[in-house]
A = this chain, B = another copy of it.
Amino acid sequence: MSERKFNQVGTRPIRHDGFEKVTGRAKFGADFSLPRMLQAAVLRSPHAHAKIVSIDTSPAFEVDGVKAVVTGGDFPTVTREGDRPLYNDSPDLAANIIARDKVLYHGHVVAAVAATTLEAARRGAEKIRIEYEVLAPVLDIESAMAPGAPILHDDLVCQGPAPIPSGPTNVARRTVFSGGDVEKGFADSDLVVEREFTTQMVHQGYIEPHAAVADALSDGKISIWCSTQGPFAVREATAIVLGIEVSKIKVTPSEIGGGFGGKIPIYLEPLAALLASRAGRPVKLVMTREEVFRATGPTSAARVRVKMGARKNGGLVAAEVEMHFEAGAFPGSPVGSACMCALASYRLDHYLIDGYDIVTTKPRVAAYRAPGSPIANFGVEQVVDEVAQRLGMDPIELRLMNAVQENDVAPYGPKFQAIGFRETLEEARNHPNYSAALGPNQGRGVASGFWFNGGMQSSATVQVNEDGTAVVATGNPDIGGSRASQAIMVAEELGIRAEQVMPHVGDTESVGYTDVTGGSRTTYATGMAIIQASQDIVRQLRERAAKIWNVELDDVAWEDGRAVATNGDAKTVEPLSIAAIAKQMPATGGPIIAHGALNAPTAGPGFATHLCDVEVDPETGKVTVLRYTTVQDAGKAVHPTYVEGQMQGGAAQGIGWALNEEYIFDESGVLENAGFLDYRIPVASDLPMIDTVIVEVPNPLHPYGVRGVGETPIVPPLACVANAVAAATGKRFVDLPLSPPRILAVIDGD
């Protein structure tokens, strides 16, 4: 595989949706409208924790133009008996979309109103009378786990291996991976480092707020247009919440202005659908930025304790990682995948990973790029850094000495096939940025990171146009340039140029079932479906040529986008281009179309090593990132520009998480910084150019060697920045974000 010569894979064509997006013509969630459409608004809880005693919606109808109102009681009780597992597989799914008996965070939806204008819908919502019995909020892990803590869910039963709480609890699940004997390991170590870390809730910060339009017919059919990472996931989740069959629902995805995992869950679609059904008219529901912050899923706040033992020579012996993740109002933090990733990068004879999923009266968390892994990594890679520092070793050399390789077994089970972790460390070590001179108050950090990458189900359809170009249709909304990658793969197989392939993102009735754009699975898994389909197209093109030449299929080869006769007689015939064959489609059997479909095996794991140089202003505590370098194993970069874009984007998000971003709640549970002015994500002027080095160790599971690349880049930056700040200041920083006040507090606390 690694020997394969590519013509299109590895090139950098302009993305097919580029003009549309650059010129503002692309249609995002809020751009869709229908004749007679109503606008909707939601009423949200003013309390972080309260029982709903009564709701009177009748005053809403006093507002002119109000056509429909729904509350939690209008939705069926959701059960999951017999349902197969899915993203949103939980009875809580419905309860997060609209509260039934209890509100569990400030901003929790309690009612939705559709009216002829948005203004009327909002005024209608304000008029709804709700009587609450206010309960004490639960705003951090300590108070959630304290004896006598207010319990969010009376029926919550903690899952997982003992010891776990019995009886009423806010601990939803415990996850444990262990191997060897950590106590023995620490006893055998020459050096043991142990630290505790904390991180705060942070939001994905996608630019486009959630938006949905729904229409509902009297025969029960529902059409939804929305911004999502997965139209089939929206269809399934909406079907569950509404208690109907998936086949009653059609979902058309819009372009998507960022998701990062946060547009996998649904929020608006069932509300819009039920309002539309009540009103007999289409309904549009669009979040404000404030609503996005208050009521969509950030990622967890967490407490991470890491203890690591090493020998003098730098060999890691044992590690223990204990993690408590806030799930927000309903179970389901990414502590499980944090446990998978925490120690996956290093060979360890003795390890114990112990994770807890804890509910608090904050918005329910959602997936955020490599969910959980950056948080675990923030602790583990700082401790690894400290071990190297205390042993007087180069941190890359220490990592190289302990790095997992092919045939090593990860703590969460699988045996690695070919992986490129060592290669990322070597490239980082050899990078000029690793030896650039540093000035006063400057420091250099190193961190590596791991993400397992997803597989899941994908379909793809490829067809040949009359002019010899091709169309590839999938069900994956294009978040990070997947259209271009898809076109490249078709072009590679057919022997044409990527510009000659039109990528299309279809609705749930026009393309085959496809799981979400997420998990870093799209170019890998949907890519395999595309390659399957394209290879079938090539076979059909050869069949048509064989028909035209009146020879056997085996007498026709496909070379450089042309059918070439290979039998003795036919060698004198001119090769037939795809365009020439396409012109003869009607006469040789009609349209040429093919599909691919699969449930892809879990993708090849992705590793990255990052370098970060910072300068810390000792007077203000401000951290300036001077250089940032990302080295990552892409397996094979189908479109290197977009791989680099993922590496740069993940690093930028991680730097923001490291330095500035955090949800700040007041003591009653009200988010105090629900806007981009107070919740500060990095802007261009905050960051240097982020350097990228792509390593290519082919993934043996994929015909081109592709690995997922979208998530790994956000894993190392938290620790990498913290290690750089530690190097610049001589202090360890264990609490995120490393904002000026916290930096100053540590420096001044000296």
Contact = CB atoms under 8 A, between A and B. Distances in A.
Nearest to A236: B466
A246 B466 contact: yes
A57 interface: no
Contacts of A245: 467, 469
A259 interface: no
Contacts of A461: 461, 510, 512, 593, 595
B591 A459 contact: yes
Interface in A484-529: 500, 502, 504, 506-514
A459 B593 contact: yes
A653 interface: no
A634 B97 CA distance: 52
Contacts of A471: 247, 508-509
Contacts of A502: 247, 250, 509
A465 interface: yes
B215 A25 contact: yes
Interface string A452-492: 00001111010101110101010000000000000000000
Given A23-B217, A457-B586, A457-B590, A465 B597 contact: no
A734 B592 CA distance: 49
Contacts of A27: 34-35
Contacts of A35: 27, 31
A599 interface: yes
A20 B589 CA distance: 36
Nearest to A18: B219
A19 B247 contact: no
Contacts of A457: 585-586, 590-591
Contacts of A178: none
A598 interface: yes
A458 B590 contact: yes
Nearest to A599: B590
Contacts of A467: 245-247
A459 B473 CA distance: 15
Nearest to A583: B84
Interface string A25-43: 1010001011100000000
A512 B463 contact: yes
Contacts of A590: 457-459, 513, 597-600
B84 A466 contact: yes
A221 interface: yes
A587 interface: yes
A35 B594 CA distance: 35
A218 interface: yes
Contact of A504 (B33, B510, B585): B510
A473 B510 contact: yes
A466 B239 CA distance: 11
Contact of A33 (B33, B456, B510, B597): B33
Most B CB contacts (10 A, CB to CB) among A245, A459, A510, A592 go to A510
Interface residues of A, number: 62
Nearest to A596: B593
A58 to B, nearest CB: 27
A597 B586 contact: no
Contacts of A458: 590-591
B23 A473 contact: no
Interface string A86-126: 00000000000000000000000000000000000000000
Interface string A1-25: 0000000000000000011100101
Contacts of A459: 463, 590-591, 593
Chain copies in the assembly? Answer: 2
A35 B31 CA distance: 7
B597 A595 contact: no
Contacts of A33: 33
Contacts of A217: 19-20, 23, 25
Interface in A140-172: none
Contacts of A456: 586
Contacts of A597: 589-593
Nearest to A510: B510
A251 B592 CA distance: 19
A585 B469 CA distance: 32
Most B CB contacts (10 A, CB to CB) among A33, A35, A508 go to A35
B469 A20 contact: no
A31 B593 CA distance: 31
A589 B456 CA distance: 10
Contacts of A506: 506, 509-510
A221 B509 contact: no
Nearest to A593: B512
Contacts of A592: 597
A330 B617 CA distance: 80
A589 B599 contact: yes
B593 A598 contact: no
A463 B513 contact: yes
Contacts of A600: 590
B19 A221 contact: yes
Given A219-B18, A461-B461, A504 B509 contact: yes
Contacts of A473: 509-510
Nearest to A216: B25
Nearest to A470: B247
Contact of A218 (B19, B247, B465, B586): B19
A471 B597 CA distance: 15
Nearest to A588: B599
A513 B84 contact: no
Contacts of A594: 595
Contacts of A469: 245-247
Interface in A190-227: 215, 217-219, 221
Nearest to A597: B591
Contacts of A282: 25
A84 B586 contact: yes
A512 B23 contact: no
A248 to B, nearest CB: 9
A240 to B, nearest CB: 11
28 contacts: A19-B221, A20-B217, A20-B221, A23-B218, A25-B217, A25-B282, A31-B35, A245-B467, A246-B467, A247-B467, A247-B469, A247-B500, A457-B586, A458-B590, A461-B461, A461-B593, A463-B513, A466-B513, A504-B510, A510-B510, A512-B593, A513-B591, A585-B599, A587-B599, A589-B597, A589-B598, A590-B598, A592-B597
The 3 closest A-B pairs by CB, nearest first: A590-B599, A510-B510, A504-B509
Given A25-B215, A457-B585, A463-B512, 14 more contacts: A19-B221, A27-B35, A84-B583, A245-B467, A246-B465, A458-B590, A458-B591, A461-B510, A473-B509, A510-B510, A589-B597, A589-B598, A590-B598, A590-B600
